[in-house]
Amino acid sequence: MIHQKSTVIPKRRNFSLTKKGRSDQAIHDVDAAAVAVRGLSAGYAGQPAIVNISFELGRGERLAVVGPNGAGKSTLLKALAGLLDPMKGKVLIHGHGPCRHICIAYVPQKNTLDWRFPITLADFVMLGRTQRIGPLRKPRSQDHDVVRSSLEAVELTAYAQRQIEALSGGQQQRLFIARALAQKAELILFDEPLVGLDVHTHREVLALIANLYRRAVTVIMSLHDLSIAASHFDKILLLRGETMGFGTPKAVLTEDVLRRAYGSCLQVIPDKDGAFIIHDTACSGGEHEDV
């Protein structure tokens, strides 16, 4: 279990200083939203995949980004991570653009990584300390302590010296969370982390993500499963190139909104209580490729 120590947050907090004492990282404005997206349009080769997206999240909130294939979910996460420049609008993390923040952890889709790369779990998690250690510097004893505690938090201590290629799908996602913990991330972006995992492993990964709430970590996760989005997240952003809905699960997951977003990709079946069982067939419902 992850335990949180009570801390006093200063009015403005600097996360990294150069040798000369000047900030080389973004300063957090504690009065600002953890995430503020304002009129964001982003895409590739001059073609927008998402248009005019706006929303805000407070510190520690959990947001599920849902929508049919091609809705722009991955594009949004890349823009939030600072990996993709906006065409219009802006992204603010604690009051500043994302590119100079070391508090953002981006967890890409599993198939984007080469799991055959020869690196141990401990060394992989240590990568989360890179920006805090500094270039051309060796990890200190405190960095090794952080790596050990991060692996312990996700129950991977016994595998610390094993190669990452030996991990199961669920263990891979736990390893990403360990790296984010070692990084001391305050915003973690997960791109489809549950794809290819069985139901039991879903529960394990979601339980670990729920524990991040105790550290006031803001979590944004793209998903296909609407039932998981409704039961495990504070807010939902429903995309189809543009915002179809944003708010609490109860406010967003209505029949009218879902039919507009998914069209023929959605099956709605009334149950005995008059509610709706929503089944997302994950077919393509948007005009853009989700990359």
Q: What is the DSSP string of the chain?
A: -------PPPSEEE--B-TTS-B-SPEEETTS-SEEEEEEEEEETTEEEEEEEEEEE-TT-EEEEE-SBTSSHHHHHHHHHTSS--SEEEEEETTB-GGG-SSEEEE--GGGS-TTS--BHHHHHHGGGHHHH-TT-PPPHHHHHHHHHHHHHTT-GGGTTSBGGG--HHHHHHHHHHHHHHHT-SEEEEESTTTT--HHHHHHHHHHHHHGGGGT-EEEEE-S-HHHHHHH-SEEEEESSSEEEEE-HHHH--HHHHHHHHGGGEEEEE-TTS-EEEEE---B-SSS---
| Per-residue model confidence (pLDDT) at position 11 | 35
| Per-residue model confidence (pLDDT) at position 18 | 34
pLDDT at residue 71 above 90?
Answer: yes
Q: In which band, very low, low, confident or very high, does the pLDDT at 277 lie, cut at 50, 70 and 90?
A: low
| Per-residue model confidence (pLDDT) at position 287 | 40
| Per-residue model confidence (pLDDT) at position 212 | 85
Q: In which band, very low, low, confident or very high, does the pLDDT at 10 lie, cut at 50, 70 and 90?
A: very low
| Per-residue model confidence (pLDDT) at position 35 | 96
| Per-residue model confidence (pLDDT) at position 263 | 82
pLDDT at residue 281 above 50?
Answer: yes
Looking at residues 22-32, what average pLDDT do you find?
Answer: 68
pLDDT at residue 38 above 90?
Answer: yes
| Per-residue model confidence (pLDDT) at position 269 | 65
Q: State what percent of residues in the chain have pLDDT above 90.
A: 53
Looking at residues 77-90, what average pLDDT do you find?
Answer: 95
Looking at residues 18-35, what average pLDDT do you find?
Answer: 65
pLDDT at residue 285 above 70?
Answer: no
pLDDT at residue 176 above 50?
Answer: yes
Q: In which band, very low, low, confident or very high, does the pLDDT at 5 lie, cut at 50, 70 and 90?
A: very low
More confident residue, 253 or 100: 253
More confident residue, 249 or 5: 249
More confident residue, 87 or 111: 87
Looking at residues 130-155, what average pLDDT do you find?
Answer: 89
| Per-residue model confidence (pLDDT) at position 25 | 63
pLDDT at residue 13 above 50?
Answer: no
Lowest-pLDDT range of 59-63, 128-132, 254-258, 284-288: 284-288
Q: Looking at the domain that runs over 25-280, which CATH code has it been given?
A: 3.40.50.300
